[in-house]
Chains A and B, each alone.
Chain A
Amino acid sequence: MRSKIATLLSITSLCCSIMISSQVYAGDTIKIGSFLAVTGGASFLGDPELKTLQMYIDKLNKEGGVLGKKIELVHYDTGGNPKKAVNFIKRLVKKDRVDVIIGGSTSGTTLAVAPLVKKFKIPMISLAGSIKIVEPTQKWLFKVPHTDRMAAAKVFADMQKRGFTKVALISGSGGFDKSGRTQSLALASKYNIQIVADESYGNKDTDMTAQLTKIRASDAQAILNFGFGKAPAIVTKNIKQLGIKLPIYQSHGVASKKYIELSGDAANGVRLPAAAIVVANELADNDIQKKVTMAYKTQYEAKYDQVSSFGAHAYDALMITLKAIKQAKGVDKKALRTAIERTQNYVGAGGIFNMSADDHMGLKEDSFKLLEIVDGRWQIVN
């Protein structure tokens, strides 16, 4: 009998200890959930984003974590598919019980999960571009990348400075291109600019000279091309081929070395808005973003290939999250959300973030640098 009681007792205590230890274990890690387009058409976004998250979380855990707790990344690959994103959000919240979410890579996936984020009351920082994510402001939803509207504004401001009033617009068929086109058309009149030609092309087209011939016949003083991938490089080459001497503006979608490489000589003189990370080397030493961009660039490039602004968005989202966790002294969702919303003067790779209750992105237009390509290299235009 005594032995039986003893056994029972020991079993009970064992159970208790297991329960306690598992509780301690759960409390010991901070779970960050993410859903990114690591494969598929938008993989150029999701791939560097995930690499960045993994790299920095590993590094942080080696240094002892945050608030003495390890960080665990729970990630699902959406392939850019909004339906999958919806399922993954449910899984992240209900099954994995994450504390905060970073993602998705595309505006489509982010907007698809927005109602669920509201329902589950979980803070989420998106890495997608569309202005619709933060306008109107939604309580639990934040984003870090610049918007296409900011890019258009930056370009138009420079055009106005140079005295251009008539501009030809040419854009691609993708979501990014179309959204950029809409924003450009809406914003132009604010800068006294008239869009005198509005042409489009398919993103896989191999020749845009027909559209550009029409632009050549218009009375445009400059050309703005909103697009990414190889098409803007073909546009740039075609403009030169047709002997059009107008100044060319591109969007932040082509802010990569690849664009210069593909366009060759034709890229010289092209102006475009870009995040500071693209020109980390060229930034002045006293630039407030010099330190953070160089640090991220060096770390990323030591492990992977060339740095991109997309990975930098993931870096900013992670750093803002970690700062907020420290400020909230834990991962209580309400406190964490408030702490994210109160992000002030965070100098990130994308710019200086000042969030508020009405601004869940926190970047100003000046966080874009205006670049000109000179002799195949980026140069910052002041």
Chain B
Amino acid sequence: MSDYILQFLISGITVGSIYALVGLGFTIIYNASDVVNFAQGEFVMIGAMSAVSFSIAGIPLIIAIIMAMMVTVLVGFALNQFAIKPAKGASVVTTIIITIGASIFLRGAALLIWGKDFYSLPAFSGEQPIHIAGATILPQNLWVMGISVLLVSAVLWFFKYTLLGKAILACSCNHTAAQMVGINVGKMMLLSYGLSAMLGALAGVLIVPITFSSYDAGIMLGLKGFSAAILGGIGNPIGAIVGGLLLGILESLGAGFISSGYKDAIAFAIILFVLFVRPSGLLGHEHQERV
């Protein structure tokens, strides 16, 4: 029984770190503009798919990954320039709806470019499972977990200790005031979309050997990543990680102990309950009404 639980936990942490990585991508744009970018899942998909394409074209893996990240950052910039910026002054809700539209557009474009097939990358360091006390884990999972930890530290550090990060946060607090003190709000927005796209692309590249990717892979990943971010408290990078891991573990324990058919329902029921008790998420700040 105990090695059962251990395997369920490991499965949960594996899936959870994928959700966490996607959830992390939501944080940056949210921190810059209070907008939940529903095209975040598409960033993940574009990162994964372009890395696969470059790799198939014979480019060494590491360079293919960097190129895929650059492509996705360009998509992020384009999203900001051509969809978000023209709607300047629109409410947060309107902007969120624009990102939903953008996600449908990006999915359609991916369908035209890559077709309906699934693609995969070879695992970074082999596929020989590592045995830990009766349970097993893949080396690629360790990559996902390790890089998630690095990324979350980097994002935390960026928002807390760099002028740029603080400037982005300032934009979210008050656009006008940020502009008054000399912050180029437009540039900060562009930067946040680019960074968020880069984070998404990196997540995509890391997980594609495990989960595979297709033009519509972004929907599910985006949804689960968003749930993770909400559960942990949106805007808080540590919250995204905690939320993601928790969601993954809940799903896996639900599938293992209760019913594999209802595992999503179990996980979402618990999320709803948590949000009922703590509307701002587990690590979110208590909501303050702005007057």
Q: Which residues of A contact B (CB under 8 A)?
A: 43-44, 47, 173, 199-202, 204, 206-207, 209-211, 213-214, 217, 229-230, 233-234, 237, 240-243, 258, 261-262, 264-266
A-B contact pairs, 22 of them (CB 8 A): A44-B116, A201-B255, A204-B219, A206-B207, A209-B7, A209-B14, A210-B253, A210-B255, A210-B263, A211-B256, A213-B256, A214-B256, A214-B260, A230-B118, A230-B214, A233-B118, A234-B212, A240-B127, A243-B129, A243-B131, A262-B118, A262-B120
> Is A242 in contact with B7, judged by CB distance below 8 angstroms?
yes
Q: Which residues of B contact A (CB under 8 A)?
A: 4, 7-8, 10-12, 14-15, 18, 116-118, 120, 122, 127, 129, 131, 136-138, 207, 210-212, 214, 219-220, 251-253, 255-256, 260-261, 263-264
Task: Name which residue of chain B comes closest to A241, CB basis.
Answer: B129
Question: How long is the Cα–Cα vector from A202 to B221 in the complex, in angstroms?
Answer: 13
Q: Which residues of B contact A241 (CB under 8 A)?
A: 127, 129, 136-138
Least Cβ–Cβ distance between B98 and chain A, in angstroms: 24
Given contacts A204-B219, A229-B118, A241-B129, 15 further A-B contacts (CB under 8 A): A202-B264, A206-B18, A207-B15, A209-B11, A210-B7, A210-B11, A210-B255, A210-B263, A211-B255, A213-B4, A217-B4, A234-B211, A237-B127, A243-B129, A243-B131
Question: How long is the Cα–Cα vector from A202 to B11 in the complex, in angstroms?
Answer: 15
> Is A204 in contact with B136, judged by CB distance below 8 angstroms?
no
Question: How long is the Cα–Cα vector from A262 to B213 in the complex, in angstroms?
Answer: 10
> Is B129 in contact with A210, judged by CB distance below 8 angstroms?
no
Q: Which residues of B contact A200 (CB under 8 A)?
A: 260-261
Known A200-B261, A242-B136, A258-B117; contact A233-B212, beta-carbon cutoff 8 A: yes
> Is A210 in contact with B256, judged by CB distance below 8 angstroms?
yes
> Is B136 in contact with A265, judged by CB distance below 8 angstroms?
no
Interface of B, secondary structure class, is helix
Least Cβ–Cβ distance between B221 and chain A, in angstroms: 8
Number of A-B contacts (CB under 8 A): 85
Least Cβ–Cβ distance between B45 and chain A, in angstroms: 12
Q: Which residues of A contact B11 (CB under 8 A)?
A: 207, 209-210, 213
> Is A204 in contact with B261, judged by CB distance below 8 angstroms?
no
Least Cβ–Cβ distance between B257 and chain A, in angstroms: 9
> Is A265 in contact with B127, judged by CB distance below 8 angstroms?
yes
Least Cβ–Cβ distance between A274 and chain B, in angstroms: 18
Q: Which residues of A contact B211 (CB under 8 A)?
A: 206-207, 230, 234
Interface of A, secondary structure class, is helix
Q: Which residues of A contact B14 (CB under 8 A)?
A: 207, 209
> Is A264 in contact with B136, judged by CB distance below 8 angstroms?
no
Task: Name which residue of chain B comes closest to A244, CB basis.
Answer: B136
Known A44-B116, A233-B212; contact A206-B4, beta-carbon cutoff 8 A: no
Q: Which residues of B contact A204 (CB under 8 A)?
A: 219-220
Question: How long is the Cα–Cα vector from A261 to B220 in the complex, in angstroms?
Answer: 23
Q: Which residues of B contact A47 (CB under 8 A)?
A: 116
Q: Which residues of B contact A266 (CB under 8 A)?
A: 127
**Contact for B260 among A44, A210, A258, A265, CB less than 8 A:** A210
Least Cβ–Cβ distance between B148 and chain A, in angstroms: 15
Question: How long is the Cα–Cα vector from A204 to B18 in the complex, in angstroms?
Answer: 14
**Contact for A213 among B8, B15, B127, CB less than 8 A:** B8
The 7 A-B pairs with the shortest beta carbon distances in the complex, nearest first, are A206-B211, A210-B255, A209-B11, A204-B220, A210-B256, A210-B252, A230-B118
Least Cβ–Cβ distance between A201 and chain B, in angstroms: 6
Question: How long is the Cα–Cα vector from A258 to B131 in the complex, in angstroms?
Answer: 29
Known A214-B256, A230-B212, A242-B136; contact A206-B15, beta-carbon cutoff 8 A: yes
Question: How long is the Cα–Cα vector from A18 to B122 in the complex, in angstroms?
Answer: 66
Question: How long is the Cα–Cα vector from A209 to B4 in the complex, in angstroms?
Answer: 11
> Is A262 in contact with B212, judged by CB distance below 8 angstroms?
yes
**Contact for A201 among B8, B127, B214, B260, CB less than 8 A:** B260
Question: How long is the Cα–Cα vector from A57 to B120 in the complex, in angstroms?
Answer: 36
> Is B7 in contact with A213, judged by CB distance below 8 angstroms?
yes
Task: Name which residue of chain A comes closest to B9, CB basis.
Answer: A210
Least Cβ–Cβ distance between B284 and chain A, in angstroms: 26
> Is B118 in contact with A258, judged by CB distance below 8 angstroms?
yes
